[in-house]
Amino acid sequence: QLQLVESGGGLVQPGGSLRLSCAVSMLNLDYYAIGWFRQAPGKEREGVSCISSSGDNTNYADSVKGRFTISRDNAKRTVYLQMNSLKPEDTAVYYCAAAYSASYYCYVSLKTPEYWGKGTMVTVSP
């Protein structure tokens, strides 16, 4: 059965860094775009970043551009989200999601994710 498992969340001070990992099982990752989404308390889930199946195309929300970097290692079946210069407003549950790669552009493929992880909590606080 397909599983996406996030890890790497935790408590960090403003300005700090975290690296989230999304481990994927039972899936040929070569054919799937992967995205990171987040949901803050009382807010709707929003897209943070995504990466195409080949890794050639990436996309970032304006709020995280220049601070977050997404990458993937298909051999390890893992996608990473490096988060630097974290702000309190980055506090949320972070989810990874997978969608069959229907487009070169990851954000197109991930308009309808097929699989979701259970999330990992990121708290940015002094």
Which residue type, as a one-letter code, is found at position 111?
Answer: K
Contact present, 114 and 106 (Cβ < 8 Å): no
Structure tokens at 6: 């996030």
**Cα separation of 109 and 50, whole Å?**
10
What is residue 60's predicted lDDT score, i.e. its pLDDT?
Answer: 98
**Cα separation of 66 and 72, whole Å?**
18
What is residue 30's predicted lDDT score, i.e. its pLDDT?
Answer: 86
Contact present, 73 and 85 (Cβ < 8 Å): no
As averages over each run of 10 residues, the pLDDT of the chain (126 residues) reads: 92 98 87 96 96 95 98 94 98 96 90 95 97
